[in-house]
């Protein structure tokens, strides 16, 4: 029998605010090679997010240290998240790889353990496949697993970009239900025009499009998108603002939504002051697996660490519990 869980099966359900869950670690390996996952801390993070009313949670994405957790930890943490969330909100599991075979195996393992579950799959990083390879990658994931797939287009991290023609081809696949679009659609240029074209041309399909840029949620919704999968939103107080932003925009209060986007920037600037999820390690008092290091170990990091801790003391009371003596 599968664990009690909720996921999504249609593009229409990919909407609102979906925090990309941070994976906290114990300080049990000073080498930062084989740390255990801090499940007690993860429970607190999840409870705070659900209390805010998030639409769903995404474990083991980039924010969840997906490139560096072990394969066993990857599946174990998804199992934990599904079990602990216990159907309170839907879950989309991170299951991307630059190896199609590896991603197929990972998705099949997830489906075997949990039943039907939507998965978030990134494009092919490092090996940088051509458009034909990207299309074949997602079509193979669909054919081999039958899972509901949300594509993740993030060229700044992958050097791999899903062109509109490829996205439209893939949107016709009944198992490919959505897109996390992490490109610069806020400013005039190719990525904005591409995003507009995909949103317009998929209106008749069951295909949801959300922002993958925390500073672009308002812009995405202005273009016709449906919300955000957010790294900053793993901090409950940030998700509170994103939820208000989405609600205001859906109610037609565009100026209010724009103002709320500005309010989120205090979080976004700190969370992305170093490569995600480095600052979140400081926010949640957690080590990171190498080759990521702590904020303090980066150039100018002592000042940034002090700024983050000051922000926690003054702006994020829910995070004080992760910092003994604060």
Between CA 181 and CA 186, with CA 185 as vertex, the angle to 5 degrees is 135
Mean pLDDT by 10 residues, the chain (326 residues): 74 98 98 98 98 98 96 95 95 96 95 92 94 98 98 96 98 98 95 98 97 98 98 98 98 98 98 98 98 98 98 97 95
Catalytic residue among 41, 138, 152, 161: 152
CA 64 to chain centre: 8
- Per-residue pLDDT at 4: 62
152: annotated active-site residue: yes
Determine the Cα–Cα distance for residues 301 and 308; give it in Å rounded to an integer. 10
- Per-residue pLDDT at 1: 45
What domains can you pick out in the chain, each with its CATH number?
A: 11-257 (3.20.20.70)
Catalytic residue among 148, 161, 180, 322: 180
Determine the Cα–Cα distance for residues 71 and 83; give it in Å rounded to an integer. 19
CB 139 within 8 A of CB 151: no
C-alpha distances in angstroms, 283 versus 25, 107, 119, 134, 301?
13, 30, 27, 35, 14
Determine the Cα–Cα distance for residues 305 and 291; give it in Å rounded to an integer. 19
- Read off the tokens for 217: 């949620």
320: annotated active-site residue: no
Query: What phi and psi, each to the nearest 5 degrees, are found at residue 58?
Result: -120, 100
Cβ count near 101 (within 10 Å): 10
- Per-residue pLDDT at 3: 54
CB 285 within 8 A of CB 322: yes
């Amino acid at each position: 029998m599968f664990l009690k869980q909720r996921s999504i099966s249609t593009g229409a359900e990919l909407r609102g605010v979906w925090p990309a869950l941070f994976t906290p670690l114990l300080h049990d390996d000073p080498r930062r090679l084989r740390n255990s996952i801090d499940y007690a801390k993860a429970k607190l993070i999840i409870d705070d997010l659900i209390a805010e009313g998030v639409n769903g949670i995404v474990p083991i994405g980039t924010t969840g240290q997906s490139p560096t957790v072990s394969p066993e930890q990857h599946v174990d943490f998804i199992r934990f998240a599904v079990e602990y969330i216990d159907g309170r909100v839907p879950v989309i599991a991170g299951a991307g790889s630059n190896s199609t075979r590896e991603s197929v195996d990972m998705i099949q393992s997830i489906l075997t353990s949990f039943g039907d579950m939507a998965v978030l799959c990134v494009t092919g990083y490092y090996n940088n496949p051509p458009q034909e390879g990207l299309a074949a990658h997602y079509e193979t994931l669909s054919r081999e697993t039958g899972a509901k797939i949300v594509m993740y287009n993030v060229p700044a991290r992958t050097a791999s970009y899903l062109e509109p023609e490829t996205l439209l081809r893939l949107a016709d696949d009944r198992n490919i239900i959505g897109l996390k679009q992490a490109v610069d659609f806020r400013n005039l240029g190719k990525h904005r025009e591409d995003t507009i074209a995909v949103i317009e041309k998929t209106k008749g399909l069951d295909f949801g499009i959300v922002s993958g840029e925390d500073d672009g949620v308002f812009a995405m919704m202005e273009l016709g998108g449906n919300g955000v999968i957010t790294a900053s939103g793993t901090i409950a107080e940030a998700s509170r603002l994103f939820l208000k932003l989405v609600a205001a925009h859906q109610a037609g209060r565009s100026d209010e939504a724009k103002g709320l986007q500005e309010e989120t920037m205090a979080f976004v600037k700190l969370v992305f002051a170093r490569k995600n999820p480095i600052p979140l390690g400081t926010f949640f008092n957690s080590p990171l697996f190498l080759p990521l290091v702590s904020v303090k170990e980066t150039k100018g990091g002592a000042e940034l660490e002090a700024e983050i801790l000051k922000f926690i003391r003054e702006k994020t009371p829910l995070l004080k519990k992760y910092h003994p003596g604060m």
